Structure 1
Amino acid sequence: MSLSRTLPLLAALSFAPPALAQAPQPPEPLGIALEGYPSPAPLSYLPVTLQGQDLRMAYMDVPATGKANGRTVLLLHGKNFFGAYWRDTIRALSQAGYRVVVPDQLGFGHSSKPALDYSFYVLAAQTKRLLEQLGVPEVVVVGHSMGGMLATRFARQYPEATTHLVLENPIGLEDYRELVPWRSTEALYKGQLEVSEEGVRAYHKTYYVTWRPEYEEWVRVHFRQSLSAEYPRLAWVSAATEQMIYQQPVVHEFPRVTAPVLLVIGQADRTTLGRARVSPEALAKLGQYPELGKRAARAFPKATLVELPNVGHIPHVEAPGKWHEALLGFLGK
Structure 2
Amino acid sequence: MPFRKLITRLSVAAAMSAGLAFQPVFAQEGYTPPDEPPADWGPVSEMMEEIEYPHPVEFMDIEHFSQEGVMAYMDVAPTGTPNGQNVMLFHGMNFGGIGFAPTIDALSEAGFRVVVPDRVGYGKSSKLDIPYNLSMFAADAKKLLDHLGIEQTAIVGHSMGGMLAARFTMTYPDTTTHMVLVNQIGMSDQRQGRPWRDIHEAAEGVRTGTSYQSILANHMRYYNTEIQPEYLEFVRMQYGQTLIDSWPKLARIRAWQQGILYFDPVVYDWQHIDTKALVLGGQDDRLTPNFAEQSQHIANTLQNADIHQYPGIGHNPHFEYPEQYHEDLIAFLSSDPDTEATDW
- The normalised TM-score by structure 1 is 0.86
- 2:108 is paired with a residue whose SS is helix
- 1:252 is paired with a residue whose SS is coil
Query: Equivalent residues in 2 for 1:173-188 (5 A)?
Result: 173-188=187-202
Deviation, structure 1 residue 212:
2.3
Give 2:215's aligned amino acid: V
- 1:116 is paired with a residue whose SS is coil
Query: What is the CA deviation profile of residues 102-155 of structure 1, one whole-angstrom value per residue up to 9, with x for unaligned ones?
Result: 000000000000111211111101110010000000110000011001110000
Query: Is the contact between residue 181 and residue 280 of structure 2 (CA under 8 Å) also seen in structure 1?
Result: yes
Instruction: Give 1:298's aligned residue.
Output: 300
1:46 and 2:60 aligned: yes
- 2:260 is paired with a residue whose SS is helix
What is the rounded CA distance, in whole Å, between the counterparts of 1:26 and 1:93 in structure 2?
34
Instruction: Give 1:309's aligned residue.
Output: 311
- 1:251 is paired with a residue whose SS is coil
Instruction: Give 2:275's aligned residue.
Output: 259
Query: What is the CA deviation profile of residues 33-55 of structure 1, one whole-angstrom value per residue up to 9, with x for unaligned ones?
Result: 11110011000000112211110
Identical aligned residues as a percent = 41
Deviation, structure 1 residue 245:
2.0
What is the rounded CA distance, in whole Å, between the counterparts of 2:235 and 2:194 in structure 1?
26
Query: Is the contact between residue 72 and residue 101 of structure 1 (CA under 8 Å) also seen in structure 2?
Result: yes
Root mean square deviation, CA, Å = 1.3
Deviation, structure 1 residue 173:
1.7
What is the rounded CA distance, in whole Å, between the counterparts of 1:138 and 1:46 in structure 2?
19
Query: Is the contact between residue 281 and residue 325 of structure 2 (CA under 8 Å) also seen in structure 1?
Result: no
Instruction: Give 2:211's aligned residue.
Output: 196
Deviation, structure 1 residue 26:
5.6
- Of 255-264 and 317-326, more deviation after overlay is shown by 317-326
Instruction: Give 2:21's aligned residue.
Output: none
Query: Is the contact between residue 28 and residue 224 of structure 1 (CA under 8 Å) also seen in structure 2?
Result: yes
Give 2:220's aligned amino acid: K
1:232 and 2:234 aligned: no
Q: 1:88 aligns with which of 71, 84, 102?
A: 102
Query: Is the contact between residue 265 and residue 290 of structure 1 (CA under 8 Å) also seen in structure 2?
Result: no
4+ long deviations beyond 3 Å: none
- 2:93 is paired with a residue whose SS is coil
What is the rounded CA distance, in whole Å, between the counterparts of 1:129 and 1:150 in structure 2?
15
The structure with more helix, counted as a fraction of residues: 1
Give 1:231's aligned amino acid: W
Structure with bigger RCO (C-alpha 8 Å, 6+ apart): 2
Give 2:263's aligned amino acid: Q
- Of 186-195 and 86-95, more deviation after overlay is shown by 186-195
Gaps of 5+ in 1: 1-23, 273-286
Instruction: Give 1:328's aligned residue.
Output: 330
Instruction: Give 1:241's aligned residue.
Output: 257
Give 1:321's aligned amino acid: E
Query: What is the CA deviation profile of residues 14-73 of structure 1, one whole-angstrom value per residue up to 9, with x for unaligned ones?
Result: xxxxxxxxxx84621110211110011000000112211110000000000111111100
Deviation, structure 1 residue 215:
1.0
- Of 147-156 and 241-250, more deviation after overlay is shown by 241-250
Q: 1:161 aligns with which of 144, 166, 175?
A: 175
The 1:268/1:127 distance shift into structure 2, 3 A limit, reads same
1:205 and 2:207 aligned: no
Instruction: Give 1:107's aligned residue.
Output: 121
What is the rounded CA distance, in whole Å, between the counterparts of 2:40 and 2:232 in structure 1?
16
What is the rounded CA distance, in whole Å, between the counterparts of 2:182 and 2:39 in structure 1?
38
- 2:180 is paired with a residue whose SS is strand
What is the rounded CA distance, in whole Å, between the counterparts of 2:188 and 2:327 in structure 1?
27
- 2:238 is paired with a residue whose SS is helix
Deviation, structure 1 residue 196:
1.6
Give the number of the structure whose alpha-carbon radius of gyration is greater: 1
The 1:31/1:294 distance shift into structure 2, 3 A limit, reads same
- 2:250 is paired with a residue whose SS is helix
Query: Is the contact between residue 265 and residue 307 of structure 1 (CA under 8 Å) also seen in structure 2?
Result: yes
- Of 176-185 and 39-48, more deviation after overlay is shown by 176-185
The 1:197/1:132 distance shift into structure 2, 3 A limit, reads same
Query: Is the contact between residue 282 and residue 316 of structure 2 (CA under 8 Å) also seen in structure 1?
Result: yes
- Of 50-59 and 316-325, more deviation after overlay is shown by 316-325
What is the rounded CA distance, in whole Å, between the counterparts of 2:268 and 2:184 in structure 1?
14
- 2:165 is paired with a residue whose SS is helix
Q: 1:269 aligns with which of 285, 289, 293?
A: 285
- Of 26-35 and 56-65, more deviation after overlay is shown by 26-35
What is the rounded CA distance, in whole Å, between the counterparts of 1:187 and 1:322 in structure 2?
43
Q: For this pair of structures, how many residues does the alignment match?
A: 296
